[in-house]
């Protein structure tokens, strides 16, 4: 029987609802329960796929090809449970479903309204696709009091009323500030936030108080009294030194214990916190650093490359080094500055990307890495740029480019239907871009005795994709003759998935996004190997 845990946030945003939900999920899973995590986002986009990282941070891609909120990345990294399309919903998706149905006459002449039609659709989503899970943790995006999130809050209130309180639990995460001037911890914002929640009909069962320092018993009692929550269910979460400490911290605060107690369940076994303790120790005590340069368009925006940053840190944990990320805006990268900028850099990474801005800087940086034998990892767009660089400078195809960026180029990168047998003609490129991406898990077969084969220790792999353009396979032989090997191919041999350079210590490009599958407790082999190469560089 599934039990539903709803996590709301109050006072301010960015309190770490995602991390709290993910940590709780880990603790429950580790005690033998089957857990599922879901996210409800109050914005009107149907999914975050079309949003710029400037707006919403990274777009996280699931195995089944959904473009989702980056919180699903936290969930997967902490629990190792693969999310699905059905685990993320937005206001936009709900409304579009309801309106579609209305157009088809699905409401039998009724007036279609937020209550009950929108809220019913939200409740359907909460229960959809649930089989034998013990717990479904649903995080509601935004902050209580926002106009946007009201239909979701109303829906979970109705849900709890229908399913019964014994099957539903409300957790509210708030902020408890410390005022330096009066040397006091303030509970009033929490009281107001809970009041707001109660005015919509929801009485939280557990309050998680985010705070910079420990909350004294008196203040916790005050929260308990004013917010009508048992004192043991007022749980503090003090800023952790590294996010990997979060599951340990929530365990020490007995969050999982209180959740199980609420549902009258027993712990099946003690949660295993040793792996988290081990990596926390490594992260906090490692002195040796390697400098990795990331060259991209959104480098100054926190969260724009969330999974990538994490995967690099995981690679560092594996190699017991601290990864120092040097973020370089590709727009500002002048050719003549490259040598100076990369002086202390031991590895270069070009992440995924879209559009022309900043591409020439990326190509120059790749040339530098290739010629100076600096470890290089190109991800998706980064791999495509490496192909262009090689075609221009080694194959001497001066007009080599991607038809995404230049319709008049020689398309070494293009849409799959764009090249003829000789690989040069562009046929009709002005197609509708919507729904044409290769998304989600695809298989690749790896060439025997290649670097990538040694790294993965496997003949076939499955990785997540999110791109529209492909490497032009018709000129594969020309690349290989000059030393750039297509060492990973789609099972039908049509689509190049991985490239690697012979006579270079570590130069690999991948058409997929390995970062989505890296976990702190099981770092991705590609990142472990890349960081190892960087560690050994110079």
127 CB neighbour count, 10 Å cutoff:
12
Which residue in the block uniquely carries the two structure tokens 């991390």? Answer: 19
Helix (H, G, I), strand (E, B) or coil at 293: strand
- 206 strand-pairing partners: 171
Give the DSSP per-residue string, 66-109.
Answer: -EE-THHHHHHHHH-PPP-GGGEEEHHHHHHHHHHHHHTTTTTT
| Catalytic, out of 74, 467, 504, 513 | 513
Cα–Cα distance, 410 to 344 (Å, whole number) = 35
- Find the shortest distance in angstroms from Cβ 404 to ligand GLN: 5
Tokens of 351: 């992440």
Cα–Cα distance, 338 to 324 (Å, whole number) = 18
Question: CA angle, corner 521, sides to 252 and 254, nearest 5?
Answer: 15
Helix (H, G, I), strand (E, B) or coil at 147: coil
**Angstrom distances, CA of residue 349 to CA of 116, 295, 374:** 49, 6, 10
Burial zone of 326 (CB within 10 Å; 0-12 exposed, 13-18 middle, 19+ buried)? middle
Is 102 noted as a catalytic residue in this protein? no
- Find the shortest distance in angstroms from Cβ 380 to ligand GLN: 3
Helix (H, G, I), strand (E, B) or coil at 368: helix
Cα–Cα distance, 217 to 465 (Å, whole number) = 50
Cα–Cα distance, 172 to 10 (Å, whole number) = 7
Burial zone of 438 (CB within 10 Å; 0-12 exposed, 13-18 middle, 19+ buried)? middle
Judged by beta carbon, residue 220 or residue 392, the one nearer ligand GLN is 392
Judged by beta carbon, residue 283 or residue 426, the one nearer ligand GLN is 426
Judged by beta carbon, residue 352 or residue 520, the one nearer ligand GLN is 352
Judged by beta carbon, residue 66 or residue 248, the one nearer ligand GLN is 66
Closest C-alpha to 4, from 168, 171, 172, 162: 168
Judged by beta carbon, residue 322 or residue 466, the one nearer ligand GLN is 466
Judged by beta carbon, residue 49 or residue 145, the one nearer ligand GLN is 49
Residue 129's Cβ-side half-sphere holds a number of Cα atoms within 13 Å equal to 12
Closest C-alpha to 438, from 395, 412, 468: 468
- Find the shortest distance in angstroms from Cβ 264 to ligand GLN: 47
Is 138 noted as a catalytic residue in this protein? no
Tell me if 19 sits within 8 A of 27, measured CB to CB: no
Of all residues in the shown chain, the one whose CB is closest to ligand GLN is 352
- Find the shortest distance in angstroms from Cβ 148 to ligand GLN: 28
Helix (H, G, I), strand (E, B) or coil at 172: strand
Judged by beta carbon, residue 77 or residue 466, the one nearer ligand GLN is 466
Helix segments in 287-374, DSSP class H: 306-319, 338-341, 359-371
Judged by beta carbon, residue 151 or residue 353, the one nearer ligand GLN is 353
| Catalytic, out of 380, 389, 404, 500 | 380
Is 172 noted as a catalytic residue in this protein? no
Sign of the C-alpha dihedral, residues 246, 127, 85, 524?
Answer: positive
Tell me if 171 sits within 8 A of 205, measured CB to CB: yes
Q: Residues 74-113, buried b or exposed e (16+ Cβ, 10 A)?
A: bbbbbbebebbbebbbbbbbbbebbeeeeeeeeeeeeeee
- Find the shortest distance in angstroms from Cβ 465 to ligand GLN: 8
Judged by beta carbon, residue 262 or residue 469, the one nearer ligand GLN is 469
The residue ranges that bind ligand GLN (CB under 6 A) are 352-354, 380-381, 404, 466-469
Tell me if 24 sits within 8 A of 137, measured CB to CB: yes
Judged by beta carbon, residue 419 or residue 469, the one nearer ligand GLN is 469
Tokens of 172: 């509210």
Tokens of 272: 């295993």
Catalytic residues: 380, 513, 515
């Amino acid at each position: 029987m599934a039990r539903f845990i709803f996590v709301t946030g109050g006072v301010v945003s960015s309190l770490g609802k995602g991390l709290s939900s993910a940590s709780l999920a880990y603790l429950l899973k580790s005690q033998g329960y089957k857990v599922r995590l879901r996210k409800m986002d109050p914005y009107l986009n149907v999914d975050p796929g079309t949003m710029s990282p400037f707006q919403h941070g990274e777009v996280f891609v699931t195995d089944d090809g959904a473009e989702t909120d980056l919180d699903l990345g936290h969930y997967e990294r902490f629990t190792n449970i693969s999310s699905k399309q059905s685990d993320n919903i937005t206001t936009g998706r709900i409304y579009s479903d309801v309106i579609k149905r209305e157009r088809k006459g699905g409401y039998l002449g009724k007036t279609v309204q937020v209550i009950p039609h929108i809220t019913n659709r939200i409740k359907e989503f909460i229960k959809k696709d649930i089989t034998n899970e013990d717990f479904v943790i649903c995080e509601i995006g935004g902050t209580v009091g926002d106009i946007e999130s009201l239909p979701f809050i109303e829906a979970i209130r109705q849900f709890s009323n229908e399913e019964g309180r014994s099957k539903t639990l409300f957790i509210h995460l708030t902020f408890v500030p410390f005022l330096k001037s009066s040397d006091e911890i303030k509970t009033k914002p929490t009281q107001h936030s809970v009041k707001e929640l109660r005015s919509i009909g929801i009485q939280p069962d557990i309050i998680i108080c985010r705070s910079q320092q420990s909350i004294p018993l008196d203040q916790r009692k005050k929260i308990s009294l004013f917010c009508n929550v048992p004192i043991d269910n007022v749980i503090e979460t003090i800023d952790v030194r590294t996010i990997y400490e979060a599951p340990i911290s929530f365990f020490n605060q007995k969050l999982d214990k209180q959740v199980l107690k609420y549902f009258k369940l027993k712990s099946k076994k003690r949660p295993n916190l040793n792996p988290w303790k081990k990596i926390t120790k490594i992260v906090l005590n490692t002195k040796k650093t390697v400098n990795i340069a990331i060259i991209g368009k959104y480098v100054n925006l926190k969260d724009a490359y969330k999974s990538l940053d994490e995967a690099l840190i995981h690679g560092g944990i594996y190699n017991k080094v601290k990864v120092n990320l040097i973020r370089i805006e590709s727009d500002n990268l002048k050719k003549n500055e490259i040598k100076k900028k990369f002086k202390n850099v031991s590895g270069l990474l070009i992440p995924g990307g879209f559009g022309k801005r900043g591409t020439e800087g990326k190509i120059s940086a790749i040339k530098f890495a290739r010629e100076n034998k600096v470890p290089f990892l190109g991800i998706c767009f980064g791999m495509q740029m490496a192909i262009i660089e090689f075609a221009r400078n080694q194959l001497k195809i001066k007009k080599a480019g991607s038809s995404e960026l230049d319709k008049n180029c020689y398309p070494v990168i293009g849409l799959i239907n764009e090249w003829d047998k000789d690989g040069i003609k562009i046929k009709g490129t002005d197609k509708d871009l919507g729904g044409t991406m290769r998304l989600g898990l695809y298989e690749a077969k790896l060439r025997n005795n290649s670097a990538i084969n040694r790294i993965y220790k496997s003949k076939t792999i499955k990785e997540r994709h999110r791109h529209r353009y492909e490497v032009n396979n018709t000129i594969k032989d020309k690349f290989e003759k000059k030393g750039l090997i297509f060492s990973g191919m789609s099972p039908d041999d049509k689509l190049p998935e991985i490239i690697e350079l012979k006579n270079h210590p570590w130069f690999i490009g991948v058409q997929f996004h390995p970062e989505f599958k890296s976990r702190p407790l099981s770092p991705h082999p590609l990142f472990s190997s890349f960081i190892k190469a960087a560690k050994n560089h110079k």
